[in-house]
Amino acid sequence: MLLKGKVAVVTGSTSGIGLGIARSLAKQGASVMLNGLLDPAQAEKLRAEFETEFKTSTTFSPADMSKPQEIQNWIEGILKSHGRIDILVNNAGIQHVAPVEDFSIDKWNSILAINLSSAFHTIHHSLPSMKKNNWGRIINLASVHGLVASANKSAYVAAKHGLIGLTKAVALETATTNITCNAICPGWVLTPLVQAQIDNLAKAQNISLEEAKNRLLSEKQPSKEFVSSEQIGETVNFLCSSAAQQMRGTAINIDGGWLAQ
């Protein structure tokens, strides 16, 4: 129970990678503040399941990560109810795939807001509490697309490169404290975000879902296996450990060899 007594905030934790990270943190005893777009009944079910399974206090907030005021209210609410934030995982993210000249301006603005600016807002409001306790872990879910590009993902690639830049700046500003800030850069993880891309590929190329999945993997990920949310969760736990105390401003790729090529 490495994280007993710690309060962990995970944005976008009702699904996919965020949910895997929230579960890993709770397994180590952290109280997890869940967030995401989920109807109230399902959200309450998820929150209650966490409390039953992990025996830690768990909250849920539907704060919309594209809305700075909702982010501020959520973080301030946690500081009021729990008195501290120790671990902040900026995970919420969306994707949209289109050539840059066809890219809708609304989609561009949403991706920048949710995948990049939300991390600025959560850090801005949480850092004073970490500084007061002289301990903290900020972990930003970037992507291999924070380090290299793919065609038709202009907003996502721009946001994720920006998120790695933000990670480095915050790491430098906290370098003489026990607060660290790092980024994790996954390759393909089979979550609803990626399933949507598999569905679109199958439709566009008139191939089966299985074939689309294999094509997606073969194109970029040499292992030809998906990364799992659990593997990312365990990496978050490692970054929370004392072994990672001097890891500052890094971008850790977990990508089945994508970036080795």
Q: Which residues does the annotation mark as catalytic?
A: 156
For 21-135, list the strands marked E by DSSP: 31-35, 59-61, 87-90
- What would the two tokens of residue 111 be? 């991706």
Task: Choose between 24 and 115: whose C-beta lies nearer to ligand NAD.
Answer: 115
Spatial neighbors of 218 by CB under 8 A, at least 6 apart, are 224
Terminal Cα distance for the chain, rounded: 38
Q: What is the 3-state secondary structure (H, E, C) of 183-229?
A: EEEECCECCHHHHHHHHHHHHHHCCCHHHHHHHHHHHHCCCCCCECH
Please answer whether residues 222 and 260 qualify as being in contact, where contact means their C-beta atoms are separated by less than 8 angstroms.
Answer: yes
CA distance 236 to 28: 11
Whole-number minimum distance, CB 160 to ligand NAD, in Å?
A: 7
Among the listed residues 181, 5, 178, 4, the one whose alpha carbon sits nearest the alpha carbon of residue 82: 5
CA distance 126 to 119: 10
Residues at the site binding ligand NAD, with contacts judged by CB under 6 A: 12-18, 35-37, 64-66, 91-94, 114-115, 141, 143, 186, 188-189, 191-194
Whole-number minimum distance, CB 208 to ligand NAD, in Å?
A: 20
Strand, coil or helix: 154 = helix
Whole-number minimum distance, CB 176 to ligand NAD, in Å?
A: 29
